């Protein structure tokens, strides 16, 4: 989420902090349970009930700890926590998007978890997920749920057209034309959002920035080639034109789940919604493959997800209780429960039980995690997609040339990372 907060939102944030913050000792007594607050940023309708049930299980097993559960809308949580932690106190535990974790750690808002019981099972977690919970050599979050992008496809349409899941973007373009000829459905519909275009950069061996060299690379020759490939996939037989409306995400999703388009790039957060569509009443019809590779010969997709982090400003008793809570919520058993109820991907290998993998969506996404690339250790990294969202929309809509749009993005990104060279 972008920085900056309106006065009304600031008032709301402070009000929420006053009623549900962990920096205060409110609600604790000398001989009573330690009260901690957890800000959960999950979907309040589809995911939160599972987390509330787990909180009750934790409290039943830890009579000396009381957890105040607060569901904070995801699109508000970053600014709310930033305000609360920098002012009067914050929740003791935060469900922190992976891009927020290094930014909050840099400000000193999060407790280092290395050597604590929260990370006692560190070896069970996938190494790339631990890596992106780190900043300046220390770990500030325990991976809670993870996600990445994959090419999801309609097996029946692919089989009818006689094509296989494409290995490269060129293969995808050819397959889309064949699917259109043989089935009448579009073969592929791409997104204009920067996050979804990230795989094109990885496929050509580049990124928006080179953190090691402290250089902005979004307008480099490699990036232009990658974004050129992305742009080409909006024009051609079986390739759906770019949707530049505010409802583009919903349009693409609806077309895919109802069999009007054979493939899209999408994440596992849509697994349950895939199954609600007419094309996937038979769950086995959902195909999941690694995103196609670019000219580097390697495929890569961005890694998303959330960590559980502990507020550094809480007192010792609250921090100790929070560490116990984080360990419980990220245990193999809890992650198995979350996966089964919410259809999200566990972050530890021992949570991929036979029952979890019986869901073809989860099993399919597990197979593509090897291509997921952790985000660089750069607090500002996630904010770099903001300028690109604006420019890629204009490029795809024909309002700007590729060169002009990427030049504009470079200028905007330079303001976010002023110590990086162009």
Q: Mean pLDDT for each 10-residue chunk of the chain (422 residues)?
A: 30 37 48 92 93 98 98 94 87 96 94 97 92 94 96 98 98 98 98 98 97 97 98 98 97 98 96 94 97 95 96 96 98 97 94 95 94 89 95 98 98 97 95
Residues 6+ apart with CB under 8 A from 1: 75, 76, 78, 79
Return the closest-CA partner of residue 149 out of 241, 270, 248: 270
pLDDT of residue 226: 98
- Please give the CATH topology (third level) of the domain spanning 7-147+304-373: D-Maltodextrin-Binding Protein; domain 2 (3.40.190)
Return the closest-CA partner of residue 193 out of 341, 389, 379: 389
pLDDT of residue 306: 96
CB burial class (10 A; 0-12, 13-18, 19+) of residue 344? buried
169 neighbors 263 (Cβ within 8 angstroms)? no
Measured between alpha carbons, how far is 349 from 104 in angstroms, rounded to an integer? 27
Dihedral of alpha carbons 161, 163, 169, 174, sign? negative
Measured between alpha carbons, how far is 220 from 234 in angstroms, rounded to an integer? 22
Report helix, strand or coil for 96: strand
216 neighbors 208 (Cβ within 8 angstroms)? yes
- State how far Cα 323 lies from the chain centre: 23
Q: For residue 223, what are its two tokens?
A: 């990036």
DSSP 307: E
Specify the DSSP element, H or E, that contains 182: helix 169-183
Residues 6+ apart with CB under 8 A from 38: 55, 67, 68, 69, 70, 91, 92, 93, 94, 95, 325
Distances (CA, A) of 134 to 5, 102, 372: 27, 7, 17
pLDDT of residue 30: 57
Measured between alpha carbons, how far is 323 from 141 in angstroms, rounded to an integer? 11
Return the closest-CA partner of residue 389 out of 147, 216, 191, 151: 191
The CATH number given to 148-302+378-416 is 3.40.190.10
pLDDT of residue 7: 31
Alpha-helical runs (H) found in 242-352: 248-257, 271-274, 316-329, 332-342
Q: Where, residue-wise, is CATH 3.40.190.10 in the chain?
A: 7-147+304-373, 148-302+378-416
């Amino acid at each position: 989420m972008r920085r900056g907060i309106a006065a009304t939102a600031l008032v709301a944030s402070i009000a929420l902090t006053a009623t549900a913050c962990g920096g205060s000792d409110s609600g604790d007594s000398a001989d009573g349970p330690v009260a901690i607050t957890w800000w959960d940023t999950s979907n309040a309708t589809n995911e939160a009930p599972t987390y509330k049930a787990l909180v009750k299980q934790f409290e039943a097993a830890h009579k000396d700890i009381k957890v105040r559960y607060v569901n904070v809308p995801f699109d508000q949580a970053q600014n709310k926590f930033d305000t609360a932690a920098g002012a009067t106190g914050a929740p003791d535990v935060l469900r922190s998007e992976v891009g927020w974790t290094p930014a909050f750690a840099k400000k000193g808002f999060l407790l280092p978890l290395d050597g604590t019981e929260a990370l006692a099972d560190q070896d069970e977690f996938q190494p790339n997920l631990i890596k992106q919970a780190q900043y300046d050599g220390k770990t500030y979050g325990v991976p809670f749920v993870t996600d990445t992008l994959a090419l999801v496809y309609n097996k029946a349409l692919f089989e009818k057209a006689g094509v296989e899941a494409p290995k490269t973007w060129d293969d995808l373009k050819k397959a889309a034309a064949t699917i259109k000829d043989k089935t009448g459905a579009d073969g592929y519909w791409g997104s204009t959002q920067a996050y979804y275009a990230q795989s094109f950069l990885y496929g050509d061996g580049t990124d928006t920035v080179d953190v090691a060299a402290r250089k902005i690379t979004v307008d480099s020759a490699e990036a232009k080639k990658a974004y050129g490939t992305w742009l080409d996939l909006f024009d051609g037989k079986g390739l759906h034109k770019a949707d530049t409306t505010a409802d583009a995400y919903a349009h693409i999703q609806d077309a895919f789940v109802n069999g009007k388009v054979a493939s899209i790039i999408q994440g596992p957060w849509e697994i349950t919604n895939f199954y609600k569509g007419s094309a996937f009443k038979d769950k086995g019809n959902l195909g999941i493959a690694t995103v196609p590779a670019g000219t580097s010969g390697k495929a890569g997709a961005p890694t998303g997800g959330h960590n559980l982090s502990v507020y550094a400003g809480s007192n010792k008793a609250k921090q100790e209780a929070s560490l116990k809570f984080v360990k419980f919520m990220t245990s193999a058993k809890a992650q198995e429960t979350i996966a089964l109820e919410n259809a999200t991907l566990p972050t530890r290998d021992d949570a991929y039980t036979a029952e979890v993998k019986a869901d073809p969506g989860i099993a399919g996404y597990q197979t593509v995690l090897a291509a997921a690339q952790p985000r660089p250790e750069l607090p500002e990294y996630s904010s770099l997609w903001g300028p690109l969202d604006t420019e890629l929309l204009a490029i795809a809509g024909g309002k700007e040339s590729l060169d002009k749009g990427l030049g504009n993005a470079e200028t905007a990104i330079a303001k976010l990372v002023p110590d990086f060279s162009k």
